[in-house]
Amino acid sequence: MGKTRTLTGTFLAVAALTVTGCGGGGTPSTETASAPADPGSASGTITVLTQRTDLIKNGAMKAYAAEFNKVYPKIEVKFEGLTDYEGEVKIRMNTDEYGDVLMIPAAVAKNDYPKFFAPLGSSIEMADKYRFSDKSEVNGKTYGIAQFGTANGFVYNKALWKKAGITDWPASPEEFLADLKAIKAKTGSVPYYTNFKDGWPLVQWSANIGSVTCDAEANNKLAGPVSPWKPGSELRVIDTLLFDIVEDGLSEKDPSTTNWEASKSKLAKGEIGSMMVGSWAISQMRDAAEQAGGNPDDIGYMPVPVQREEGQCSTLVSDYQQAVNIHSDHKEAARAWIDWFTEKSGYSVKEGAVPTLKSAPMPDTLKEFVDNDVTFVERSEAKTGTVNDIDNAAEIGLNKPDYRQKLVDIARGAQKGSAESYFTELNKKWDDAAKTIGS
């Protein structure tokens, strides 16, 4: 027994030594990853980390790389698809080996960007050319270029809504609820589907911060003890709408066993009336409609039901941002890939998404929005770093499903409380956390 103890002691000592040995990290570098001046001579092998395993599997990525090689013949592009992108990349970022090009994981604090990624240019220049560039701006330099962006709103089944006698978009939350009631009464379909079990579709509601008041600064305004759920605020309006939908029984009967993949074809077939998802989902829904033998044109998209003087608004938010690993040996080649992929590959058009390039037109999927004069609010992300810090410190998770799952639970009576008491609790958590962050 005594021997075992000394042995354990030795191991712990060894462990402690090892621990002190691995506190390393990246050293900040100011070298800008700029695109090569001469495409023909740029060379190197670069690895691109991506979350789109589906595009790797069906060969789409390889096809993009082949196109890319027509311009940059000497750059070889390799792809690495990661199913659990966030989780895996986050751990790999403790080493130097996290590809040459990668999507910036949400977990990385904005102020740490210069420690992990090579700067791509001055933020003023980048902002002229690209949307969403302030999302990755630190001290006047931009570290990421968005793959594309999404507009936000509800995807809905037009045919079903017409069947319930509704032709116009609702202009207020009350009208939206009345429409959902009409759908339930006249068609028997599920008017709204929460996708509670999968969780992330509930997160989509947060993307609408800014849609309610048409304020591009809406997200930045959360950076402080501002009680984000106070009456009339963005979050109060959208979370109350969700709460009322569930409380009035306008959502699916058993939210705890929902299924995202199945919900797509249910919406296409008119068994579900509407869902809150980003505009990236429109093309997926249309595919699902085709597969289910429905009509892809039945899939419609509408903004958050709040009418203001400016009309209805829809926020544009950035998808993953592409960055260059600060430890990469081929920063030029990496930058060349990012630029080409963002601007010339046709990726965003294919995905039906909002292009990163300011000069490019809106996609077909958002034709309805353009036709109905929906105002696109390009949401500023300048203070996202602070907002995320407060959010994490408060353990609320604006971009995590948990707090909305609880909201839905309260609304359907599965947990104690009321909307009012819950909003008060959230406000308190947020404000307390904001004070400790000290802004």
Partner 1 sequence: MTETTEAVSVRTHRATPQRRGPSATGAGPRTGGGRGRLLRRATPWLFLVAPLALLITFTYVPVGNMLYYSFTDWDGISPDRNFTGVDNYVQIFTRPELFRVFFVSFYYLAASAFQIVIALYFATVLSFDLRFRNLFKGLLFFPYLINGVAIGFVFLYFFQDGGTLDTVLSWFGQDPDHAWLGDPESANTSLAGVSVWRYTGLNFVLFLGAIQSIPGELYEAAQLDGATKWDQFRHIIAPSIRPVLSLSVILAVSGSLAVFEIPWIMTGGATGTSTFVIQTVKLAFQFNKTGLASAAAVVLLLIVLLITWIQRRLVPDEKVDLV
- Residue ranges in contact with partner 1 by CB under 8 A: 11-12, 14-16, 18-19, 22-26, 87, 90, 93-94, 105, 107-109, 112, 115, 196-197, 199, 253-257, 392-393, 395, 397, 400-402, 405-406, 409, 412-415
Nearest distance in Å: CB 274, partner 1: 20
Say if CB 260 and CB 198 are below 8 A apart.
Answer: yes
The sign of the CA dihedral 375, 275, 200, 306 is positive
Nearest distance in Å: CB 422, partner 1: 14
The span from the CA of 104 to the CA of 112, in Å, is: 11
Nearest distance in Å: CB 285, partner 1: 22
CA 246 → CA 63, 176, 241, 300, 326, distances in Å?
44, 13, 9, 22, 47
Nearest distance in Å: CB 145, partner 1: 21
CA 337 → CA 47, 65, 145, 347, 392, distances in Å?
10, 9, 11, 13, 33
When the beta carbons of 90 and 350 are compared against partner 1, the nearer one is: 90
The tokens of 358 are what?
A: 């300011």
Nearest distance in Å: CB 105, partner 1: 8
Nearest distance in Å: CB 35, partner 1: 28
Three-state DSSP class for 275?
strand
Where b means 16+ CB within 10 Å and e means fewer, 314-327 reads bbbbbbbbbbbbbb
When the beta carbons of 87 and 165 are compared against partner 1, the nearer one is: 87
When the beta carbons of 392 and 424 are compared against partner 1, the nearer one is: 392
Nearest distance in Å: CB 358, partner 1: 31
Residue of 2, 59, 16, 52 whose CA lies nearest to 284: 52
Residue of 243, 219, 240, 223 whose CA lies nearest to 231: 240
When the beta carbons of 223 and 398 are compared against partner 1, the nearer one is: 398
The span from the CA of 72 to the CA of 69, in Å, is: 5
Determine the straight-line distance between the first and last CA of the chain, rounded to whole angstroms.
54
When the beta carbons of 108 and 366 are compared against partner 1, the nearer one is: 108
The span from the CA of 308 to the CA of 172, in Å, is: 10
Nearest distance in Å: CB 209, partner 1: 19
When the beta carbons of 108 and 333 are compared against partner 1, the nearer one is: 108
Nearest distance in Å: CB 410, partner 1: 11
The span from the CA of 59 to the CA of 57, in Å, is: 5
Nearest distance in Å: CB 253, partner 1: 6
Nearest distance in Å: CB 39, partner 1: 34
When the beta carbons of 19 and 37 are compared against partner 1, the nearer one is: 19
The span from the CA of 182 to the CA of 180, in Å, is: 5
Owner of token pair 């962006």: 149
When the beta carbons of 70 and 416 are compared against partner 1, the nearer one is: 416
The span from the CA of 273 to the CA of 286, in Å, is: 15
Query: DSSP states of 228-273 as a string?
Result: TTSTTSHHHHHHHHHHHHHHTT-B-S-GGG--HHHHHHHHHHTSEE
When the beta carbons of 403 and 423 are compared against partner 1, the nearer one is: 403
The span from the CA of 398 to the CA of 271, in Å, is: 29
